[in-house]
Structures are given as structure tokens and as C-alpha cells.
Chains A and B, each alone.
Chain A
Amino acid sequence: EVQLLESGGDLVQPGGSLRLSCAASGFTFSSYAMSWVRQAPGKGLEWVSAITGSGGTIYYADSVKGRFTISRDNSKNTLYLQMNSLRAEDTALYYCAKDNKGGYNYAYTDVWGQGTAVTVSS
């Protein structure tokens, strides 16, 4: 069974940093692109970032470009999101998501984790 388990969410002050992790199991991790998608309280879904299966190509939403860094460790079956210069508007539930293939282009998300909550507030 495919499982994605996020961790690392916390309460952090504006301007602070946080690193999210997503432990994957039940599939060949390195064969699939992975994404982070967030959902602000009571709001819709927003795609944040994606990384190809090899880790060679990375994509970001404009709203996080230059502040967030996505990475993966295929030897540990783990996806990461380093979040710096956090703002109140980054407050959200952050979902780890598996794509249906290794490349990012024309790939859709087929499995979602349960999410980890990030709150940015003083």
C-alpha cells in the first residue's frame, strides 16, 4: 500500500524557517515525481512545488520561489521542503503528493498524504 507520512509542521514566527519531511513507502520512490500542495485554513488547494523522480528538475509556484527549497533523498525514500522567510500567508496544511510518473510534465497527483500543519504567527 502506498503511504505518505508528513512531519515537521509547527508554529513559527514570521521570518522564521521550518523543514517539512515526507516519508514514502509502498512504491519505488525514485521512479516518481513528488509535489507539495498546501491548503490555507478554510481555503482551496494551492500547488507549491514539484521535483522529478531523479531530483534533476525542480519547479516552484511564484508565491514561494526564492524562499522554499524542495529536495529528495531517494536512498531514504524521503521528500523535503525547506521553508525560509516564512510569512503569515504561508499558514496552511501542507500535503505531500505522489505523481503518476517520474517526470513532472503532464503528470497528475495520484496519492496524497494526510498533511502537516504550518502556522506562521507571532
Chain B
Amino acid sequence: EIVLTQSPGTLSLSPGERATLSCRASQSVSSSYVAWYQQKPGQAPRLLIYGASSRATGIPDRFSGSESGTDFTLTISRLEPEDVAVYYCQQYDSSPRTFGQGTKVEIK
């Protein structure tokens, strides 16, 4: 089973700042089969990024994804108040699909 480790656990930033969320895989994830989901308080998760760097339909371009080896990154270029949420990475390269433990993004 591929273990995904997200860091930091909590990110507290001011509006307009850049948020960088990390997701490290315990082994190689082939062909960038990593997705990122946003879960706002009291809501279901929403797909943000798939294939490590492709934005889902309707997702603002301030959200971007990248990868470097077994390290995957979600970047929010200019944080807005509505971005307060928990963000999860997931690998869908092998079964079982696994999620990271989540990074909580707060506004200062």
C-alpha cells in the first residue's frame, strides 16, 4: 500500500499570500496518478487537481499542482478567504487508493 504523508498539518496565512502544500509518497507513483481534493467545513470533498497538475473543471487558476519524483505539491498562488478548507492528496496508481491525512488551511 502506498502511504501518502502531507505537510504541514496546518497552514495559517494571510489573504493574498502563497500557500504551498506538500504530499510525499512512500513509493513511486507512476504516470502522476495523484489527485488533490478540497473539503470545506461541513461539505463533501471537491476535486481540484488530477494527474498531479491538471485542474478540474471550474477550478480557479490560482490552484496549481506539480510533482518532483515522489513529492507532489499543491500551490494556491494568492490565498482567498473562501480557500479555508482541508486539502487531501490521493494516489490512484495502485489499489487500495490511499489518501494523505490532510492539510488544514486557515486565514490569519
Contact = CB atoms under 8 A, between A and B. Distances in A.
A95 interface: yes
Nearest to B33: A106
Given A47-B97, A108-B92, A100 B46 contact: no
Contact of A106 (B39, B86, B92): B92
B96 A61 contact: yes
Interface residues of B, number: 24
B93 A44 contact: no
A53 interface: no
A114 B97 contact: no
Interface in B4-43: 31, 33, 35, 37, 39
A107 B47 CA distance: 13
B99 A46 contact: yes
B95 A59 contact: yes
B35 A109 contact: yes
Contacts of B98: 47
21 contacts: A35-B97, A44-B86, A44-B100, A44-B101, A44-B102, A45-B39, A45-B88, A45-B90, A45-B99, A47-B96, A50-B97, A95-B44, A95-B45, A104-B95, A108-B90, A109-B90, A110-B50, A110-B56, A112-B46, A113-B44, A114-B44
Interface of B: 31, 33, 35, 37, 39, 44-47, 50, 56, 86, 88, 90, 92-93, 95-102
The 4 A-B pairs of least Cβ separation, nearest first, read A112-B44, A47-B97, A45-B99, A108-B35
